[in-house]
Chain A
Amino acid sequence: MKTDQEIIRELAPRKFNRAGKLWVGFLLALILSSFAAYLYQLKEGLAITGMRDYAMWGIYISNFVFFVAMSLVGSLITAILRLTGANWSTPLTRISELIAVAAIIMAGLTIIIDMGRPERLYYLFIHGRLQSPIIWDVIVITTYLVLSILLLYYPLLPDFTLLKKFYKDKPKASRWFGRLALNWSGNEEQTKIFNLSVKVLSVLIIPVAFGIHTVTAWLFATTYRPGWDSTNFGPYFIAGAFVAGAGTVICVMYVIRNAYGLKDYITDGHFDKMARLLVLLCLVYLYFNVNEYLVPAYKNTVEERDHLSGLFTGEYSTLFWFAIIGGLVVPIVVLLFKGGRRPLPAFLIGLLVVVGAWWKRYLIVTPTLLHPFMPVEGVPEDWHHYFPTGPEWIITIGNLATASFIVTILVRYLPIIPIKETLEERETSLNPKAQPHETA
Chain B
Amino acid sequence: MKPRKLFYLIGCLLSLTFLLPLKSHGQDKERVRVSLSYVGEMPETSRIQLMARFRGENGFEPAGGLEFHIYNLYPNDSLVETGTAVTGMGGQITFTLPALNTQYRDTTGLYTYRVVSSEHPRYDEVERDISFKRARLDVYVVEENEAPYLRATLTDEYTGEPVSEQPLRVGVERLFRPLTLGGDFNMTDESGSIDVLIGRDIPGLNGNLTLMATLSEHEEYGTLTARTQAPLGVPIVDTSTFDQRTMWGPPSKTPLFLLTVPNLIILGVWGTIVFLIHNLYKISKSKNSTT
Q: Residues on A close to B: CB < 8 A? A: 127-131, 136, 139, 143, 146-147, 150, 153-154, 157, 182-191, 193-194, 196-197, 200-201, 204, 208, 437
Contacts and interface: CB of A to CB of B under 8 A. Distances in A.
B248 A131 contact: yes
Given A143-B269, A183-B283, A187-B290, A201 B251 contact: no
Most chain A CB neighbours (cut-off 10 Å) among B272, B285, B291: B291
Given A186-B291, A197-B279, A201-B276, A130 B284 contact: no
Interface in B250-283: 250-251, 254-255, 258-259, 262, 266, 269-270, 272-273, 275-277, 279-280, 282-283
A322 to B, nearest CB: 38
B231 interface: no
A200 B272 CA distance: 8
A139 B258 contact: no
Contacts of B258: 130-131
Question: Among B254, B255, B262, B276, which residue has the most Cβ atoms of chain A within 10 A?
Answer: B276
11 contacts: A127-B251, A129-B250, A130-B262, A131-B254, A139-B266, A147-B273, A150-B276, A157-B283, A187-B290, A189-B288, A208-B269
A131 B247 contact: yes
B290 A186 contact: yes
Task: Report whether over half of chain A's contact residues are helix, strand or loop; otherwise say mixed.
Answer: helix
Contact of A128 (B251, B269, B291): B251
Q: Interface of chain B, helix or strand or loop or mixed?
A: helix
Nearest to B287: A183
Given A130-B258, A131-B248, A131-B249, A204 B283 contact: no
A287 B287 CA distance: 53
Contacts of A143: 266, 269-270, 273
B271 to A, nearest CB: 11
Contact of A193 (B246, B250, B286): B286
Contacts of A153: 280
Contact of A182 (B254, B255, B259, B283): B283
A183 B286 contact: yes
A194 B259 CA distance: 34
B159 interface: no
Given A150-B273, A187-B289, A187-B290, A193 B251 contact: no
Given A129-B250, A129-B251, 6 more contacts: A128-B251, A129-B249, A154-B280, A187-B291, A201-B276, A204-B272
Contacts of B266: 139, 143
A331 B251 CA distance: 47
Contacts of A157: 283
